[in-house]
Amino acid sequence: MPENKDSVTNTPQVTTLTAEVAKPNATVNAQEAITTATLTKVVTPEQFAESEKEREELKKQVTELRTKDKLNTLNNMFVKVKDEKAKEELIKKYSKADNVDQLKEFITEVYPILRASEEEKEEDNKEEPKVETKKGKAASLPKEPELPKEETESKAASVPVNKLQAIHQFINSGGRA
């Protein structure tokens, strides 16, 4: 045993640290753990109120855009309606429908069929001769008699043919008679 305490304390002591190498855990996939980790965000009451206000504004804008799209679609569907009052009534009636696109699909399927049947009716009406009787003064006037055409007169300005020939010869001769 050493008698001097200083000699013991002055000697350096070496401590060795041992660490085991971490082995991969077969039950935990590192990438999966990172992507599925949940984060908790603390929201202040002011931030929450602001986000609720923005959400309400966006909801209002979406509603307005849907209504505008619905009215535009209905206007395009009823473009062939000639009577403006009837058109407005149809738009008002069908604007209450939830899905106007289904109504549009229905019309696009049915319209060609209705149009074809309408054209068939028109063709049938054209084939049947209609006898129209004219009533009034114009129908009671006698037909004008045809006047005999004289062979000596030209149709153009009623100039006799022989005079036309004389004019033609004068022009062709260069103005010498």
Beta-bridge partner residues of 153: 160
Are residues 2 and 8 in contact, defined by beta-carbon separation less than 8 angstroms? yes
In the predicted model, is pLDDT for residue 57 greater than 90? yes
pLDDT in tens, 64-112: 999 899 889 888 888 888 888 988 888 888 888 888 888 888 888 888 8
By the 10 Å C-beta count (0-12 exposed, 13-18 middle, 19+ buried), 70 is classed as: buried
Judge if pTM exceeds 0.85.
Answer: no
Per the CB < 8 A criterion, the answer to whether 95 and 71 are in contact is yes
Q: Which of 33-42, 60-69, 97-106, 125-134 has the highest mean pLDDT?
A: 60-69
Predicted confidence band at 128 (pLDDT cuts at 50, 70, 90)?
A: low
Tell me the pLDDT tens digit for each residue of 1-15: 455 555 555 666 666
Helix (H, G, I), strand (E, B) or coil at 109: helix
Instruction: Please provide the distance, in angstroms rounded to a whole number, between the alpha carbons at the two ends of the chain.
Output: 169
Residues 6+ away with beta carbon under 8 Å from 2: 8
User: Residues 72, 64: contact at Cβ < 8 Å?
Assistant: no
Q: Could you tell me how many residues make up the chain?
A: 177
Q: Which amino acid is at 95?
A: S
Rama region for 175: left / alpha / beta (φ>0; ψ in -120 to 50; rest) = left
How far apart, in whole angstroms, are the C-alpha atoms of residue 120 and residue 128? Answer: 13
Mean pLDDT, residues 42-49 taken together: 90
Confidence band of 16 (pLDDT split at 50, 70, 90) = low
Number of Cα atoms under 13 Å in the Cβ half of residue 98: 0
**Where residue 23 falls among pLDDT bands split at 50, 70, 90?**
low
